[in-house]
């Protein structure tokens, strides 16, 4: 009799604020989008709060009293600003957090399937993964182009199906409360990271089972 095949273990990573530090380019793109419609942008503390959401939802949070057509216009202008920065060479560096590559290599060697669940577009995610030479590490890539905004669980559910995993064998790793709420909605483990854009106490309040204080502490928490 053939033994049943165990479900895969899947480690899903957010991108901005978890794998890479991209806050300067995000803030500059929001500021340019607001300037384009004659508005003063919120301060950067407020802008960092929306990292992780899909663009329209992010603009709704920044301007809750505005009409839907303005939210859409700002989202479109953000995309255009980001693309202009990339193609003109004006983008700030978006470095991998120190030690992230070692974590990815360690988890892969330990038998984990790896994936990404991000509010970025397909194009934006492909660019950042190619730039750092890490695209081959991931077997499933879920973006805002094909899913409702976080914290809806659609990204995680699709990634689980792609990897042949289950909610019980999946860990969502992210730096925002949206990541933790998404993980909880999908029935997976929620692992926060303290080096991103939401403070650790907010991650815990949003349902994080644990919060990694440093990149190098991630692998130990994955084994618990």
d(C-alpha 153, C-alpha 131), whole Å: 28
The residues carrying an active-site annotation are 14, 16
Q: Which residues contact 119 (CB under 8 A, 6 or more apart)?
A: 16, 51, 52, 53, 54, 55, 58, 143, 144, 149, 150, 178
d(C-alpha 115, C-alpha 14), whole Å: 9
Q: Give me the residue label for tokens 């470095």.
A: 95
Token pair listed for 213: 């204080």
d(C-alpha 155, C-alpha 186), whole Å: 9
């Amino acid at each position: 009799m053939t033994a049943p095949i165990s479900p895969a273990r899947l480690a899903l990573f957010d991108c901005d604020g978890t794998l890479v530090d991209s806050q300067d380019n995000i803030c500059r793109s929001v500021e340019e989008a607001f300037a384009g419609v004659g508005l003063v942008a919120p301060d950067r503390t407020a802008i960092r709060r929306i990292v992780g959401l899909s663009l329209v939802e992010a603009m709704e949070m920044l301007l809750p009293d505005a009409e839907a057509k303005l939210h859409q216009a700002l989202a479109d202008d953000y995309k255009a600003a980001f693309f202009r920065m990339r193609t003109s060479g004006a983008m700030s560096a978006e470095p991998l957090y120190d030690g992230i590559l070692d974590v990815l290599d360690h988890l892969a060697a330990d038998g984990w399937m790896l994936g990404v669940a991000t509010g970025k577009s397909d194009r934006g995610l492909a660019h950042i993964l190619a730039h750092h030479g890490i695209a081959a590490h991931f077997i499933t890539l879920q973006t805002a182009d094909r899913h409702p905004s976080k914290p809806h669980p659609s990204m995680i559910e699709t990634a689980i199906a792609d990897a042949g995993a289950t909610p019980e064998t999946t860990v969502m790793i992210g730096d925002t409360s949206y990541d933790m709420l998404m993980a909880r909605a999908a029935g997976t483990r929620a692992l926060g990271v303290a080096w991103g854009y939401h403070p650790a106490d907010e991650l815990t309040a949003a349902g994080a089972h644990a919060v990694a204080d440093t990149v190098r502490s991630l692998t130990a928490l994955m084994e618990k």
